[in-house]
């Protein structure tokens, strides 16, 4: 998968906009040799098994190295730190979500009107965040890092593109940040687990917010 490219300003040309958004990794993109790619997969498989057994909070670089039968330095060289490892584990899951909103069928995919896609986007992301909330929250040791990874930039560009396509007035990048903030994993986890709100209520909140911005279905 490759990094995302910036969208041109102003109302998008549908063909150009579709080309501008490409699948993006959660962490920094890289091209690996075949042996390095195999080693990376081996480490991620070991990390996935350990996470299923112990939970993301108890996953360490040392335990992954032991489970994969390599030295601790190998894990650090591949992922940098524990946060890098957790972000890499999210990569495959994020890729499935990206494929759905970039090239999947309606209402998320490119054959649906922009407003319809925007309404479908929020509930899909909330369910993705709910299903992987432990991994997502454990990876957020640096609050600012989440805004810099390619996957977040891709989501931001995608929502901004849909806002322009739906002819929403205002600063679409700022509005896109606001919309994404309303479905952040930590907030969704707090509202559903701590406050007991059903996910359907958050869905309706997303639809109300998007409609108030001028993107009614």
Q: Would 179 be classed as within a structural domain?
A: yes
Q: Would 194 be classed as within a structural domain?
A: yes
**Of 217, 152, 209, 142, the residue nearest 184 (C-alpha):** 152
Q: Would 67 be classed as within a structural domain?
A: no
| Structural domain total, the chain | 1
Q: What is the pLDDT of residue 9?
A: 38
Q: Would 20 be classed as within a structural domain?
A: yes
Kindly give, in sequence order, each residue whose CB lies less than 8 Å from that of residue 160, ignoring residues fewer than 6 positions away: 7, 172, 173, 175, 176
Any idea what the CATH number is for the domain that residue 127 is in? 1.10.357
| Cα 106 from chain centre | 19
Q: Would 74 be classed as within a structural domain?
A: no
Report how far residue 132's alpha carbon sits from residue 111's, in angstroms, rounded to the nearest whole number.
28
Q: Would 69 be classed as within a structural domain?
A: no
Q: What is the pLDDT of residue 197?
A: 96
Q: Would 1 be classed as within a structural domain?
A: no
Segment (H or E) for 125: helix 114-131
Report how far residue 64's alpha carbon sits from residue 91's, in angstroms, rounded to the nearest whole number.
17
Report how far residue 201's alpha carbon sits from residue 191's, in angstroms, rounded to the nearest whole number.
10
Report how far residue 120's alpha carbon sits from residue 211's, in angstroms, rounded to the nearest whole number.
12
Instruction: Tell me the average confidence (pLDDT) per consecutive run of 10 residues in the chain, 217 residues long.
Output: 37 40 53 72 87 84 92 92 86 85 96 98 93 80 82 95 97 97 93 94 97 92
Q: What is the DSSP letter of 140?
A: -
- Coil, strand or helix: which one is 217? coil
Q: What's the pLDDT tens digit per position in 156-183?
A: 999 999 999 999 999 999 999 999 999 9
Q: Give the tokens for residue 40.
A: 């990376």
The residue range of the domain holding 129 is: 14-24+85-212
Q: Would 9 be classed as within a structural domain?
A: no
């Amino acid at each position: 998968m490759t990094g995302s490219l910036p969208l041109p300003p102003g109302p998008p040309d549908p063909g150009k906009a579709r080309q501008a958004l490409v699948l993006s990794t959660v962490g920094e993109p890289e091209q690996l040799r075949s042996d390095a790619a195999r080693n990376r997969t081996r480490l991620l498989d070991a990390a996935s098994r350990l996470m299923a057994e112990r939970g993301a909070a108890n996953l360490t670089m040392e335990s992954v190295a032991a489970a994969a039968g390599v030295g601790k330095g190998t894990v650090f060289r591949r992922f940098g730190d524990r946060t890098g490892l957790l972000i890499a584990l999210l990569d495959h899951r994020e890729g499935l979500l990206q494929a759905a909103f970039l090239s999947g069928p309606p209402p998320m995919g490119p054959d649906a009107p922009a407003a319809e896609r925007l309404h479908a986007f929020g509930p899909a992301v909330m369910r993705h965040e709910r299903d992987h909330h432990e991994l997502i929250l454990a990876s957020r040791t640096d609050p600012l890092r989440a805004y810099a990874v390619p996957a977040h930039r891709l989501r931001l560009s995608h929502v901004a593109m849909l806002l322009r396509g739906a002819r929403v007035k205002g600063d679409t990048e700022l509005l896109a940040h606001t919309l994404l903030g309303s479905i952040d994993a930590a907030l969704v986890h707090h509202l559903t687990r701590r406050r007991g709100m059903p996910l359907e209520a958050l869905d309706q909140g997303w639809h109300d917010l998007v409609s108030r911005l001028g993107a009614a279905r």
